[in-house]
Structure 1
Amino acid sequence: VRSIDGTAEWFASKGFRNARLNALGASFGELAIGAGLIAGFLTTPAAAGLAAMMATAFGAIHRFAGFFVFARPDEGWEYVATITVGAVVIGL
């Protein structure tokens, strides 16, 4: 999954429509969110974007996989939930 094409293939395997567009959006979104949080620039919108991205990951992939993320291949939901809560706290 180390490229846009690989990410798009993974998104498609998980049932996402327009997988390439979603892969591009997720990649650029993660870069922008990370840069915004690191720089402290527009922290609240960046944190809201991160919370939304992690909520999508939870709803689409992780919610049925159990709690622990290290229970591969299912990848549980505790890690994305922790990131979501942290992003909400930063956004407040």
Structure 2
Amino acid sequence: MDNLLTLTARIAKCGVLRYTPTGVPVLDLMLEHESMQRENNLPCTVRLEIQAKIVGKDALIWQHRENSTVRVSGFLAAKNQRYPKPILRIQNIQEYKG
């Protein structure tokens, strides 16, 4: 089954860098997106916020990059067993210069 999301968004908030018990860096982000899309052949303004997480060396690179516009891709997963709402688990992140 497929579970892949690609999004261009602004990093609205960076959480505090933390580490797993095995020493892997983890960074929680809040991403904001706004664009014009077409739905049923009509223009539609889309605005959304989505929680995201970076695990690994990219967490170190992006920890102080609030307000940067980025292109991210990854998959959606529940935050944890008690919080079933999805977050974006980022596997690839790049600065967007569009």
**Normalising by the residue count of structure 1, what TM-score does the alignment of the two structures yield?**
0.28
Higher relative contact order structure (alpha carbons within 8 Å, sequence separation ≥ 6):
2
The structure with the largest strand share of the pair is 2
Structure ID, larger Rg: 2
**Normalising by the residue count of structure 2, what TM-score does the alignment of the two structures yield?**
0.27
